[in-house]
Amino acid sequence: IYWAGGDGSAIEILGDFTEQQCRQLEVKGPKSIAFGSGTVLTPAVKYFAERFLDAKRGMYVFITDGKLDDLDAVKKYTIQLAKQIADNKRNFVKFVLVGVGSDIDQHQLEELDDFSTGTGIDIWDYKIAQDMKALVEIFAEVVDENQIVAPTGTIYDSAGNRIKQYTDGLPAKVSLSLPASCQWFELEVYGQRIRQTVILPKDNG
């Protein structure tokens, strides 16, 4: 959808797209609304939260280039969603705000990211587009160490040594220690090996 149109609260629905369609999708801007002078997020959040109630783990990304005019309303609705999730009345949802341009209010994004609903349910995350090195960073807070993504998996270092082996399920998030000389490691899963280069932090001393 396009959001923050008209008086800031209007949305325009683009439709539903398959993965293949998304690869060729051209996003040229709204047709029925003009982007408004305000930025009202709640209607867009409600659209996804209420439309995809059956989604087991919904994740929705909102791109903004301005300051939210309805932060209090967003917080109120967030509490409502969090309580429903905590009471097992609805499935989990995750919302990510991606700020673009120089007019964003980063303090406001941080405030929403750190907002406590009193339930232990963390619904919001935020990213600043210019600070992102890869799109996968959007999914950072969604990754759960207890979420199993494959039945088995093995990790090898660049010397071919087996570092870790998961026989009872490969979690979505893992931690490991590698030799300082290690240039990369490989994850063997589903009969394939996926290589990840090791990038060491720069020594500022």
The residues of the chain that CATH labels 3.40.50 are 2-142
Question: Is residue 166 within 8 Å of 154, Cβ to Cβ?
Answer: yes
| More confidently predicted of 56 and 62 | 62
pTM strictly above 0.75: no
Q: How far apart (Å, rounded) are the C-alpha atoms in residues 109 and 133?
A: 19
Percent of the chain whose predicted confidence (pLDDT) is above 70: 92
Q: Give the closest residue to 143 by CA, choosing from 106, 170, 109.
A: 170
Fold of the domain spanning 2-142:
Rossmann fold (3.40.50)
Dihedral sign, Cα of residue 107, residue 112, residue 113, residue 116: positive
pLDDT tier at 48, thresholds 50, 70, 90: very high
pLDDT at 144: 61
**Cα Rg of the chain (Å, integer):** 20
Mean pLDDT across 180-186 = 91
User: pLDDT tens-digit profile of 89-99?
Assistant: 999 899 999 99
- Residue 82 to residues 27, 117, 194: CA-CA distances in angstroms? 32, 7, 36
For 131-154, how does the pLDDT look when each residue is reduced to its tens digit (9 = 90+)? Answer: 887 776 776 666 565 577 788 899
pLDDT higher than threshold 90 for residue 47: yes
Average pLDDT in the chain: 88
